[in-house]
Amino acid sequence: MLIDLIILTNSHHDFLVWMARRTIKTILESESNIEFNIIVVESVKNVEREYSDLCQHYIFPNEPFNYNKFLNIASQYCKGDWIIISNNDVSYEYGWLTEIFKVNEARPDIESFSPKDPLLFMSCWGNTFIGTDATYIEGYQVSKFLMGWSLVLKKSAFDKILPFDEQFDMYYQDNDYAEVLKINGIKHALVRRSIASHYNTLTAKVLRDEVKPKMKEDELKFRNKWKIYT
């Protein structure tokens, strides 16, 4: 089985390079029997080829960073039956993808998935599912069911939703993704036994003054597009 892995990275700091390499390595080590077609899209120009030893495609778009545009560029290099879209700051546990495949085998009508971050899951759900045998939870709400930092979807679903809306160049692309799934009738689920930990970058944790206006701008784009004002 061939799986496409798309990672967008910004290698302007050694720590971010280390995090991105760690993300790729945890995926490779977690599923050693799967062949990956790894596509890294780099937003820093003239950087050393930090990921050439780990990926099949290392792409430097000759234009400013745009999250969804860079995903559209990466999609041209996809050739597997499944696509993983991952942030560059995620650590994946052994067998995380196998658990997603198990759910899809039982429920082939679900075509989009996210793994579970244990800390985030507890903050969102608390003790709701303790003692239950539910292996997955269906829904579209971002950060509760749908994790924008890690998405796994079948190629059939991926082809339906392309291209990604390039007006979402930095934030709210995951909210837009959720709405696109809905209008295309593509079901999404959070898989409880698929474990991955998301380590937010310092920029995401500390909302610096220059970040806040951009988030508000992208939120307004999202609300205007989908007529969601509450």
What's the number of domains the chain is made of?
A: 1
Q: Which residues fall within 8 angstroms of residue 214, CB to CB, at 6 or more apart?
A: 170, 171
Count of beta carbons in the 10 Å neighbourhood of residue 17: 19
Amino acid identity for residue 96 in this structure: W
| CATH number of the domain where residue 56 is located | 3.90.550.10
pLDDT, residue 146, reads 97
Count of beta carbons in the 10 Å neighbourhood of residue 170: 14
pLDDT, residue 14, reads 85
pLDDT < 70: residue spans in the chain: 48, 129-131, 201-210
CA dihedral for 51, 101, 154, 220, sign (positive or negative): negative
Domain with 155 in it:
2-226
Q: How crowded is the C-beta side of 128, counted as CA atoms within 13 Å? A: 10
Amino acid identity for residue 196 in this structure: A
pLDDT, residue 203, reads 43
Q: Are 169 and 221 in contact (CB under 8 A)?
A: no
